Structures are given as structure tokens and as C-alpha cells.
């Protein structure tokens, strides 16, 4: 039985898989079982923030695995406390953190915090959450409903929880607020929705209005967090102070972890929320190691240099191939090229693996790039050399 046959026979077929079998990764280069190398411009959908085989991360994981991998959250977990302190200090916000296992779980936690806030802080119960069209917040029943894409709300999984509504743009949010609205949940850069950033001024105006109205601002930083947009948080880049922030993806460098942080530290009581695996020794050892790698790179200006270098390459592509692309989009190392049609996007994605390049697609006909934060200029150069070959083969 081949690997493809094994997968199709024993694994639920919920993904449109490519059957390249990667067996090793070094930095931002992957190798398959035939020895062919691939430049990784996807980093596991923004997860492998410090690349593959990073010695600081792998050493931390091996060292922790030799001691304790897991106990329950009924005991204090020292690396969890250290990671929480690091995240809070790097964020610059006075918050406390609950650790989960994924972005969807982090967003579930955020919604629970908002719902209890709406139950306990107002004379009338507030429970409604406003999100935006083209948003993506997870795959659980609740976070699917919070996602502002009708294609996700199929009848197969209904009925969905009520209390969610979707607005076309930030300007429409104000009129949608009523006396049952408790929170607005947004991504500052819509990843799945086409790597589309919002304007800084409109986000700041919204944040100020929500604060004045006593309505919570929840920022989903599952994809934008942990230096992906250049700052530790996109919220820092936008110079706002959310009530609740969610993290995941790049925080563990490949080890599953999620986090919800809030300035409303008193809202959840003992027993209100929990997770068996969330914030265990192994995942928090990973998180601590990732931040130990990335913080010095940020301080030295190396992350800024990398994102500017990557951005220049994208601008060159758009300038040279205006017949294929409308524009470059995104922030930092969360980038995209807006193709002029779904056919162009599909052809590029389809041919990229043949040329030894791992890239992604996103909404609005976008070819998406999510390289590791530690990607080298040499790897960037080689990746775009291969990308040019993909384009020339169309």
C-alpha cells in the first residue's frame, strides 16, 4: 500500500491533499523522500515561525521531553507562567492569559469571555458579536458561525449558535450595534479573506468608539501575532488597545498552542473554562523558545530587514507581470499577490510544487505567502527565482 493509498483508506478525507512526502526541513527549505528540495513560503500556514529544525526550539523540546511533557492544569506549570509573563510584557498591555491548543480554541475562549462580560456587566444581557465579511475565526461550530463567509455556514452542521452578524466593512459596524451587542471581533489583516489589511485610522476610530460605548474589541491575531506583521502584535502596529486578543499559529513554532489574553482579568472564575492539554510543559517550552529566538531578531532590526526585502521582491513581480497580478497586499511577512482571475491563481498554485516552491492560496484570487520569520535572504532569492519559473510556465 502506498502512502497515498494508506492516507485515503485510513484518514478522513477532509483536505485536498498534495501527496509530496516531506521527510526533513532545514530553515525554510524542505526535502521530500526523493531528496528534492522545496523553498517553503508557507511555513505550515504561518506556523513554523522560526523555520524547520531550529536548534533553539528543538533543543528546548528535547530537554523538556526528557523531564516532563504533561501534567494537568490542576498543578502550577512553571514554563506556562514564564510564557504568559513574556507574552504580556512583549505586548505592552496589562493582561492575563488562558492557554489552549489552537486558534479556534483561543477564539472560543474569547467569545466565552465576551459572553460572560455581557451577562455580568450590564443591566440587560448582552451577547451579540459583530464580525466582518471575509473573516475567518476557526472550524468549531461557534467559530464557524463567527466566520463571515457564507460558504462555511452549510446546512450540514446546523443549527449554529445565534448571536453573530456580519458587516461588509468597518464603517457598517457602527449602525449594527444595538443594546444586545457585547463585542466586535476582527482580524486586522484578513488572512483567509485575501490577506487584506484594514486602514490604521479606521481601526483606531472604531476602537475609540467601542471603548466609549463599553463594547469589547476582540482582535483575532491567530495569524498576525508573534512578529508576523513586523511588531509583536498587529495591535501594536495599529496602536490600539483591545480588550481581548487571541494568538496561536506562530507562537509554538510547530507545536500546537493557542492563547487568549484579556485586560478583563476578573471575568472568568474557577471552573468557567478549561483545557486538558492547554499550556502544558511541552507546548509552553516551545513558546518560550520561539520568543527567545524572535525577540533578539526584532531588537536588532533583522525582522524589519527581512520583511522589507520580501516586500521588494513582491513589488518586482507585480511590476513585471501586470498581466497576471493587480497588486501586492498584506503586511510584514503576511503577504499576497492579488491575481487577475481565479484561473491564474489556480494555475500558479498548481504548478508551484513542480518547481520546488510551497505557497498558499487565499480568498479574492490571492496567492498567499507566509514564510518563516527567520527566512534567509538566500532562501527568499531562490524562492522568487522558482516563482518566476512558475509564472513563465503559464
Per-residue pLDDT at 393? 86
329 sits in which H/E element? strand 325-331
Contact 25, 52 (CB under 8 A): yes
The Cα 89–Cα 98 span in angstroms is 15
Q: What is the pLDDT of residue 151?
A: 92
CA dist 237 and 230 (Å) reads: 8
Q: Which of 243, 277, 221, 253 is nearest to 80 (CA)?
A: 277
Angstrom distance (rounded) from CA 56 to CA 12 = 34
pLDDT at residue number 394: 83
Q: How many angstroms from the chain centroid is the CA of residue 195?
A: 11
The CA distance from 390 to 195, in Å, is 21
Place of cell 501527496: 19
Residue closest to 268 by CA, chosen among 21, 95, 22: 95
What lies within 8 Å, CB to CB, of 318 at 6+ separation is 325, 327, 328, 337
What are the residues whose beta carbons fall under 8 Å from the beta carbon of 377, sequence distance 6 or more?
A: 306, 309
Distance of CA 238 to the CA centre of its chain: 17
Q: Which residue has the cell 463599553?
A: 214
Cα gap 75→65, rounded to integer Å: 18
Return d(Cα 365, Cα 358) in angstroms, integer: 17
Rounded to whole angstroms, the Cα distance separating 262 from 242 reads 8
Mutual angle of helices 281-299 and 78-91, in 10-degree steps: 30
Give SS3 for 83.
helix
Half-sphere exposure of 125 (CA within 13 A, CB side): 5
Q: pLDDT digit of tens for each residue in the chain (394 aa)?
A: 999 999 999 999 999 999 999 999 999 999 999 999 999 999 999 999 999 999 999 999 999 999 999 999 999 999 999 999 999 999 999 999 999 999 999 999 999 999 999 999 999 999 999 999 999 999 999 999 999 999 999 999 999 999 999 999 999 999 999 999 999 999 999 998 899 999 999 999 999 999 999 999 999 999 999 999 999 999 999 999 999 999 999 999 999 999 999 999 999 999 999 999 999 999 999 999 999 999 999 999 999 999 999 999 999 999 999 999 999 999 999 999 999 999 999 999 999 999 999 999 999 999 999 999 999 999 999 999 999 999 998 8
- Nearest Cα residue to 359 out of 381, 325, 341, 335: 335
Q: Helix axis angle, 281-299 relative to 302-320, nearest 10°?
A: 80
Q: What is the pLDDT of residue 121?
A: 94
**Which residues, 6 or more positions from 323, have their beta carbon under 8 angstroms from its beta carbon?**
340
Residues 6+ apart with CB under 8 A from 299: none
**Grid coordinates representing 61?**
523540546
Amino acid at each position: 500500500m502506498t502512502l497515498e493509498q494508506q492516507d485515503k483508506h485510513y484518514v478522513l478525507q477532509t483536505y485536498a491533499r498534495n501527496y509530496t512526502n516531506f521527510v526533513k526541513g532545514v530553515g525554510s527549505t524542505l526535502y521530500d523522500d526523493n531528496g528534492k528540495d522545496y523553498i517553503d513560503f508557507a511555513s505550515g500556514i504561518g506556523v513554523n515561525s522560526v523555520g524547520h529544525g531550529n536548534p533553539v526550539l528543538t533543543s528546548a523540546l528535547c530537554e523538556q521531553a526528557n523531564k516532563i511533557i504533561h501534567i494537568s492544569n490542576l498543578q502550577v506549570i512553571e514554563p506556562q507562567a514564564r510564557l504568559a509573563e513574556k507574552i504580556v510584557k512583549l505586548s505592552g498591555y496589562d493582561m492575563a492569559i488562558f492557554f489552549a491548543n489552537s486558534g479556534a480554541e483561543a477564539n472560543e475562549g474569547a467569545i466565552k469571555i465576551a459572553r460572560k462580560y455581557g451577562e455580568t456587566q450590564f443591566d440587560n444581557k448582552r451577547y451579540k458579536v459583530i464580525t466582518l465579511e471575509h473573516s475567518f475565526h476557526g472550524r468549531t461550530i461557534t467559530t464557524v458561525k463567527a466566520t463571515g463567509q457564507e460558504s462555511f455556514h452549510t446546512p450540514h452542521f446546523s443549527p449554529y449558535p445565534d448571536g453573530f452578524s456580519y458587516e461588509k466593512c468597518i464603517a457598517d459596524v457602527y449602525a449594527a450595534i444595538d443594546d444586545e451587542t457585547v463585542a466586535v471581533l476582527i482580524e486586522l489583516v484578513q488572512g483567509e479573506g485575501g490577506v487584506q489589511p484594514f486602514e490604521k485610522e479606521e481601526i483606531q476610530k472604531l476602537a475609540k468608539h467601542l471603548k466609549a460605548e463599553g463594547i469589547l474589541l476582540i482582535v483575532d491575531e491567530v495569524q498576525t501575532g508573534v512578529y508576523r506583521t513586523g511588531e509583536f502584535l498587529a495591535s501594536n502596529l495599529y496602536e490600539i488597545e483591545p480588550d481581548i486578543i487571541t494568538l496561536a499559529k506562530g507562537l509554538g513554532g510547530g507545536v500546537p498552542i493557542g492563547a487568549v489574553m484579556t485586560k478583563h482579568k476578573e471575568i472568568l472564575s474557577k471552573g468557567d473554562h478549561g483545557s486538558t492539554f492547554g499550556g502544558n510543559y511541552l507546548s509552553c517550552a516551545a513558546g518560550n523558545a520561539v520568543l527567545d529566538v524572535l525577540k533578539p531578531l526584532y531588537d536588532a532590526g533583522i525582522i524589519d530587514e527581512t520583511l522589507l526585502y520580501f516586500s521588494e521582491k513582491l513589488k518586482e513581480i507585480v511590476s513585471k507581470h501586470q498581466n497576471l497580478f493587480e497588486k501586492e497586499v498584506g503586511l510584514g511577512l503576511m503577504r499576497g499577490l492579488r491575481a487577475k482571475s481565479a484561473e491564474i491563481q489556480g494555475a500558479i498554485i498548481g504548478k508551484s510544487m513542480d518547481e520546488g516552491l510551497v505557497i498558499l492560496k487565499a480568498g479574492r484570487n490571492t496567492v498567499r505567502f507566509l514564510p518563516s520569520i527567520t527566512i534567509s535572504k538566500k532562501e527568499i532569492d531562490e524562492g522568487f527565482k522558482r516563482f518566476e519559473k512558475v509564472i513563465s510556465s503559464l
